Homo-oligomer: A and B are copies of this chain.
Amino acid sequence: MANRLLKFLLAVDGRPRRKASKMGKPPATLGDIAKSLGTSIGTVHRALHDHPGVSPATRARVLQMARNLGYRPNLAARYLSSKKTLRISVNTLQGTTSFWDEVRAGIREEAAGILLENVEVEFRTSPSLGEGEEEALEAAIAAKVDGIITFPSRPETLRPWIRRASRSHIPVVCVATDAPNSGRLGIVAIDTLASGAIAADLMGKFLGGRTGSVGITVFDMGITEHAEKYGAFESTLKSFYPHLELLKPIEDHDVEREAYRKCRKLFEERTDLAGMYVTTEASIPVLKAACDAKVLDRLTIITTDLFPDLVPYIRSGRVAATIYQRPRAQGQMALRLLHEFLAEGGRRSNQVSLAPHLVMRGNLDFFLSRQSQESASKNGQNGQEARRLVHDLA
């Protein structure tokens, strides 16, 4: 072999850990703590878990010693011993597009991948925006689940419930929209600044040097995320493409008729309109309005997310690009976050910002094929779900 040649060329580096695990002592156990304290395993266990039956003095000594020895629970032993299964409630929307279906698929997928297969997912799905969301959260708390993943469509109304869950030691992870100051454990969402900025950048480049105005639809400027996205779009447009004028945002509240009406009006009034950025789910009514106003082919349109009805518009080039919010990844990350916390206190950041994906004509098929894989299994699940009855939560 030509290993001679490799002298000083190829570095083999073990991790620091390895050395530690080889020469260092093995990880401390409950027994170690008990022994070095002259007490028993039971007491140590009770102290570490704030169970009753331990005097404050010994509890303190145990905690201190645990820290000294660098105790970390052995999860394998824990799961083997108490075969409690984690129950987590997923409170999301039915939704008009496939967005939430895919979020749920991502959660399911991730739950199935948990090695210590002890995760049960219960879905509490609200039929439409704001309908029954509070009650669903209340039900989840009442059911004493171990964790909750939720979509706080109106953060203010859900905030007290999330706070109540936290007080009951039920961690809550928000998806897609944050509920600030609610005591929620974490949030996973698409980075709003990255979304708004890339949309603006693309809009500017797509329009070349053309001047004109650019419209934008949002859900509601009262929601932090939407305001941020608008802000990012605005500032990027202003600094890089100052010749484009950004119009006031159109709020559609995810109501199709509202979106159609307001956009139709805009399209007929602003004859200088060159581009449109649709940040909401309701892109189809916007497209319909543009079609009816006979401006569809004049406009450079950037939408949000990807669902069947949108596909023909992208393929034909009438929608220049769409900012894909990666619902699957959001679901996966949310469950991961929650599980890591429940498993070992969760060391990672509890604020996950995902980068959006850009879908255009060229790479459309790539994303569609990914979805079809998932919807295949999703439909299987839905088949079973459809057979279930609708319950009364009372």
Contacts and interface: CB of A to CB of B under 8 A. Distances in A.
Given A12-B393, A198-B358, 8 more contacts: A3-B394, A6-B135, A10-B391, A11-B124, A77-B80, A194-B366, A201-B362, A353-B366
A196 B191 CA distance: 25
Q: Could you say how many copies of this chain the assembly holds?
A: 2
Contacts of A80: 74, 76-77, 80
B11 A388 contact: yes
A360 B392 contact: no
Given A362-B240, A363-B193, A366-B197, A392 B11 contact: no
B357 A115 contact: no
Contact of A85 (B11, B21, B136, B367): B21
22 contacts: A3-B393, A4-B394, A10-B125, A10-B139, A10-B391, A12-B391, A15-B122, A17-B120, A18-B120, A21-B85, A74-B80, A115-B343, A194-B362, A201-B360, A201-B361, A201-B363, A202-B360, A236-B362, A240-B361, A355-B363, A355-B366, A355-B370
A180 interface: no
A12 B122 CA distance: 7
Interface in A149-199: 191, 193-194, 196-198
Interface string A224-256: 000000001000100010000000000000000
B120 A21 contact: yes
Nearest to A125: B11
A132 interface: yes
Interface of A: 1-4, 6-18, 21, 74-80, 85, 108, 113, 115-116, 120-127, 131-132, 135-136, 138-139, 191, 193-194, 196-198, 200-202, 205-206, 208, 232, 236, 240, 317, 320, 340, 343-344, 348, 353, 355, 357-358, 360-363, 366-367, 370, 384-385, 388, 390-394
A357 B360 contact: no
B116 A363 contact: no
B392 A3 contact: yes
Given A361-B240, A393-B3, A366 B11 contact: no
Contacts of A85: 21
A116 B113 contact: no
A120 B363 CA distance: 37
B116 A76 contact: yes
Nearest to A128: B9
Contact of A200 (B340, B362, B367): B362
A6 B201 contact: no
A75 to B, nearest CB: 5
Identify which of A10, A78, A196 gathers the most chain B CB atoms within 10 Å of its CB: A10
A273 to B, nearest CB: 18
